[in-house]
Amino acid sequence: MLWYIPALPLGAFFILLFFGYLGRSFKNIVGTSFIFLSFITSLIISMSHWGEKSYAEILWTWIPKTHIGFVLDPLSIIMILVITFVASLVALYSTKFMSDDPSLARFFAYLNLFVASMLILVLADNLLLLFAGWEGVGLCSYLLIGFWYERPETNAAAHKAFITTRVADVFLLIGIIYLGLELNTLTISTALIRMGEFYSSGSLSAHIIALCLLIGALGKSAQFPFHTWLPDAMLGPTPASALIHAATMVTAGVYLLARMAPLFNLAPDIQHLIVVGAAFTLILGSWCALRQSDLKRVLAYSTISQIGYMFLALGAGAPGAAMFHFTTHAFFKALLFLGAGVIGEALHHEYNMFKMGGLKKELPLTYYTFLMGSAALVGLPLISSGYYSKELILSETYLSPAAGLVPWIIGVLGALLTALYVGRMIILVFFGKAHAPITMKPTWPMTFPLIILAFLSLFAGALQTPLLQSLGFGHHKIDLAVILIASAAPVVGLIFAYLLYKNHNKPKKYRDFRLDNIYKYIFIYPYIKLSHYLRKDFFIHIYTPVINFINFTYALLSQTQNGRIGHYLTVVVASALTIIGFLVWL
């Protein structure tokens, strides 16, 4: 009954597709309940198979040697529980957030399709089915970013996200095909076993496959150099941003690398590359987050930098730490996005932080939950879940032979910057004097998810031991000084943030490091030049006359369709007379 889990949201997608004309409460119930049922099913199945190494279920043979089949192991248990749980809360939140939107059915249909694809991605037992889910979530991300398609900038953002991730997906597909050819299987468990027999550590084939998979993961997880799509993706509806661009889809890359971890152990150079890229991305993300004026863009850059931490753990050979940070991050980042949605709604769709301020008194519940989420994001020692996961990543990095001291220092520096931009965000949004009156108070479908997620942001750290044990990772002993320095970084960062930003001073410029412009000159302009050149090739001489002929005929025939009833009748009578005359003449 494993297939129920993705089938339920998929069913809701089809119901909403065909019965979207029914009432709002029907859409709300269908859109929310099927995801929630999927969560309940995941919970029951996970309970009954807890502790087992893996539980597979093959549905039917797709192409020779490849089945449509699902597999449940500790890694996918964590993924499905987090995905369906966060998705249920986000769906509940959306019933209120999207209540005024005319295309509610479309939103819920996309949301359910996304959840179904994501579950297929994490439950797939072979790489081809995983790729199908991978493309499915990419499609839903595109559809939800461009949800308000009347505005040209959302369309541009959606195209950008889709094309950027597509480029990376092609590499992933190449990697999957290459792996299939080399190992003669696409089933993940078989491939991981055969890999150890076929490749010695550091062999070229293992490096090529690992590099291709890594590029695919970088694209989906918005890591440098593919990260530029994520900040623009914030033009979509906020619940979609919370679910797709913070909690689940962008961590698909982390899942892929964690799933294929034995492959990366065979390719040490790629592991070094992951560490270097992750260290760079996490600093870049936090630095950019410090220079934003839009609340959601701050959170987007913060997501980039937090996923950088997960990649750091993966590069350091600690997938357990990455999965733990994925879990806590899903809770607190979803919470922050949903909180930002409440703030934006209360201020009439205003997300500019410099037009906020003084919201502590107006939205007390949002303030306290947002504060708890921020504490987890900063990694405030002992009282937040983010502390335990980030701490684990940093100590694993410190101990790992693949990473070591320098990545650890960068990680601590990143934690400091995180505290700095989070402090700035909190001060700008909630303190100081108010700029505009609030127009809406959040009601229970919006506050309930906030409270649940805030609770988890604080206490999900308790999941550390069971989670790591189920994945088969132990604890390492580490110097107290290393832990103390890493724990001090967030506190120091918050103090700096208070000193620097207490006056709400505006920076002169907002920067995204202008990578967009560089990509424009390297990729977009040459592409446009090339397509202009290719316009004048040989085949144009064949097609132009055809087009001209069709246009001419069209102009001729459209003359008869002038819309005058008398003319039509005349033609009818004339034709009737002609036919009768012809018959009589015969």
Partner 1 sequence: MISVPLEHSLILAGMLFAIGLFGLLLRRNLIFIFLSIEIMLNACAFAFIATGHHYGQPDGQVMFIFILAIAAAEVAIGLALALKFEQIFKTLDAQAANEMRG
Residues that bind partner 1 (CB under 8 A): 558, 561-566, 569-570, 573
Nearer to partner 1, 522 or 574 (CB): 574
Helix (H) or strand (E) holding 67: strand 66-72
When the beta carbons of 542 and 555 are compared against partner 1, the nearer one is 555
Rank residues 565 and 584 by Cβ distance to partner 1 and give the closer one. Answer: 565
Q: Which is nearer to partner 1, 200 or 559 (CB)?
A: 559
Residues 6+ apart with CB under 8 A from 302: 285, 286, 289, 333, 336, 377, 418, 421, 422
What secondary structure does DSSP assign to 31-64, as a single string? HHHHHHHHHHHHHHHHHHTTT-S-EEEEEEEEET
Quick one: 503 or 561, whose CB is closer to partner 1? Answer: 561
CA distances from 572 to 113, 576, 578 (A): 51, 6, 10
Neighbours of 309 (CB within 10 A): 31
CB of 563 to partner 1, least distance (A): 4
For partner 1, give the closer residue by CB, 525 or 552. 552
CB of 575 to partner 1, least distance (A): 13
383 φ, ψ (degrees, to nearest 5): -95, -5
Q: What is the C-alpha separation between 298 and 157, in angstroms, rounded?
A: 17
Considering beta carbons, is residue 25 or 561 the nearer one to partner 1?
Answer: 561
Pair of tokens at residue 582 = 């012809």
CB of 560 to partner 1, least distance (A): 9
Q: Is the Cβ of residue 484 or residue 550 nearer to partner 1 in the bound state?
A: 550
Which is closer to partner 1, CB of 63 or CB of 555? Answer: 555
Q: Exposed/middle/buried for 480, CB within 10 Å: 0-12, 13-18, 19+? A: exposed
Minimum gap (Å) between residue 564 Cβ and partner 1? 7
Is the CB of 531 or the CB of 561 nearer to partner 1?
Answer: 561
Question: Cα–Cα distance between 572 and 493 in angstroms, integer?
Answer: 84
Least separation in angstroms between residue 547's CB and partner 1 is 20
Min dist CB 562 to partner 1, Å, is: 7
Asked if 395 and 478 touch (Cβ cutoff 8 Å), the reply is yes
Which of 527, 178, 476 is CA-nearest to residue 320? 476
The residue count of the chain comes to 586
What is the C-alpha separation between 215 and 170, in angstroms, rounded? 9
Residue 70 neighbours by CB under 8 Å, 6+ apart? 2, 3, 5, 6, 56, 57, 59, 123, 124, 125
- In angstroms, what is the minimal distance from the CB of 508 to partner 1? 52
Rounded to whole angstroms, how far apart are CA atoms 572 and 579?
11
Sign of CA dihedral 285, 317, 84, 173: positive
- Find the helix or strand (DSSP H, E) in which 71 lies: strand 66-72
Q: How far is the CB of 550 from partner 1 (least distance, A)?
A: 16
* Cβ-based burial of 173 (10 A; exposed 0-12, middle 13-18, buried ≥19): middle
CB of 551 to partner 1, least distance (A): 14
Preceding amide of 102 cis, omega within 30? no
DSSP 246: I
Nearest distance from residue 577's CB to partner 1, in Å?
Answer: 10
Q: Enumerate the H helices of 64-187 as residue ranges.
A: 74-97, 104-123, 127-145, 152-183
Residue 126: beta bridge partners?
187
User: In terms of CB distance, is 201 or 570 closer to partner 1?
Assistant: 570
CA separation for the pair 567, 382 (Å, rounded): 85
**How far is it, in rounded angstroms, from Cα 555 to Cα 79?**
59
How far apart are CB 565 and partner 1 at their closest, in Å? 5
Q: How far is the CB of 573 from partner 1 (least distance, A)?
A: 6
Q: Considering beta carbons, is residue 25 or 562 the nearer one to partner 1?
A: 562
Smaller CB separation from partner 1, 204 or 557: 557
Give the list of residues 6+ apart from residue 48 with CB closer than 8 angstroms, or none: none
Region for residue 354 given its phi and psi (left: phi exceeds 0; alpha: psi -120 to 50; beta: otherwise): alpha
Nearest-approach distance from CB 566 to partner 1, in angstroms: 5
What's the closest the beta carbon of residue 554 comes to partner 1, in angstroms?
Answer: 10
Pick the closer one to partner 1 by CB: 505 or 560: 560
What residues are paired with 69 via a beta bridge? Answer: 58
